[in-house]
């Protein structure tokens, strides 16, 4: 333990204390900014109150992450094989990257209907570009020597990809996944805002309409927790994958 925990703790305590005081004294209107203690209580009780929404958001995140990771890596490996294909699909990819997510919600609502499909798709669309791009670059950087090793010892194209090229690109792929994870989460929540009958994003909109700000902040807090959990989880997975160092 080092001594940084004291300023770190103060960095959290002081703003929360100021928040509590501002709300209690009426400096901030308690409807818009309920006291910190009230919000904290909601954070604790919210999962018990609306557990199906927690489950559906969790489900959407997991499905979205799995699909983003798997298809992102596959597409990235394919794009790395051909400059022409990359040029062809690259423009489309950057279109997705540059366009604000929300513009696709209407399209997904029309095609998929209101339900978990919309947040899942928005999650994939938000995160996949990062996985594709870093996989593609990682695969391209795999040395010709390693590829030749595979060829000399009889690897067919699939074995070459699975035993040599993808493992060699794992550090880059993991970096892309870690960036993608945060985006997937945002995509899922935004999707829930607009087009689902449940989930934390949906709750934020509903509570907001009811001016139940304490519950809004509690839901936001849970999203932040999830984000932190996913980020540290992925950082840990990344490290465990990359115990070896490049020679």
Chain positions contacting another protein, by CB under 8 A: 143, 145-146, 148-156, 159, 163-164, 167-168, 170, 244-247
In the 8-state DSSP scheme, what is residue 213? H
Q: How far is the CB of 158 from another protein (least distance, A)?
A: 11
How far does Cα 105 stand from its chain's mean position? 17
Q: How far apart are CA 48 and CA 61, in angstroms?
A: 20
211 CB contacts (<8 Å, ≥6 apart)?
31
Q: How far is the CB of 69 from another protein (least distance, A)?
A: 19
DSSP alpha helices (H): ranges in the chain? Answer: 5-24, 36-49, 51-81, 83-98, 105-112, 117-141, 144-152, 157-159, 166-195, 200-209, 213-241
* CB nearer another protein, residue 25 or residue 240: 240
* CB nearer another protein, residue 40 or residue 170: 170
Cβ atoms of 44 and 97 closer than 8 Å: no
* CB nearer another protein, residue 123 or residue 150: 150
Q: How far apart are CA 172 and CA 217, in angstroms?
A: 35
* CB nearer another protein, residue 63 or residue 146: 146
Q: How far apart are CA 245 and CA 240, in angstroms?
A: 12
Q: How far is the CB of 70 from another protein (least distance, A)?
A: 20
User: Structure tokens of 5?
Assistant: 């925990």
In the block, tokens 């006291």 appear at: 35
Q: How far is the CB of 80 from another protein (least distance, A)?
A: 18
Neighbours of 226 (CB within 10 A): 18
Q: How far is the CB of 169 from another protein (least distance, A)?
A: 11
DSSP structure string for 78-97? HHHH-HHHHHHHHHHHHHHH
* CB nearer another protein, residue 78 or residue 170: 170
* CB nearer another protein, residue 42 or residue 135: 135
Q: How far is the CB of 161 from another protein (least distance, A)?
A: 13
Q: How far apart are CA 128 and CA 96, in angstroms?
A: 10
Q: How far is the CB of 243 from another protein (least distance, A)?
A: 8
* CB nearer another protein, residue 153 or residue 225: 153
């Amino acid at each position: 333990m080092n001594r940084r925990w004291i300023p770190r703790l103060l960095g959290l305590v002081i703003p929360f204390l100021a928040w509590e005081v501002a709300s209690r004294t009426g400096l901030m209107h308690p409807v818009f900014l309920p006291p910190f203690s009230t919000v904290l209580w909601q954070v604790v009780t919210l999962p018990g109150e609306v557990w199906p929404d927690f489950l559906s958001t969790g489900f959407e995140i997991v499905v979205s992450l799995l699909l983003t990771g798997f298809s992102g890596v596959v597409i990235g490996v394919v794009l790395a094989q051909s400059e022409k294909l990359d040029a062809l699909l690259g423009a489309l990819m950057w279109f997705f990257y540059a366009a604000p997510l929300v513009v696709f919600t209407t399209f997904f609502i029309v095609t998929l209907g209101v339900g978990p499909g919309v947040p899942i798709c928005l999650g994939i669309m938000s995160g996949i570009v990062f996985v594709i791009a870093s996989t593609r670059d990682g695969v391209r950087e795999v040395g010709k020597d390693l590829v030749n090793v595979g060829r000399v010892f009889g690897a067919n194209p699939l074995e070459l990809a699975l035993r040599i090229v993808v493992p060699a690109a794992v550090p880059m792929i993991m970096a892309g996944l870690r960036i993608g994870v945060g985006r997937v989460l945002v995509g899922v929540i935004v999707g829930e805002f607009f087009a689902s009958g449940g989930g934390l994003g949906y709750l934020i909109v509903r509570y907001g309409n009811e001016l139940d700000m304490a519950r809004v902040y509690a839901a936001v807090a849970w999203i932040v927790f999830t984000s932190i959990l996913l980020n540290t989880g992925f950082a840990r997975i990344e490290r465990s994958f990359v115990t070896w160092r490049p020679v």
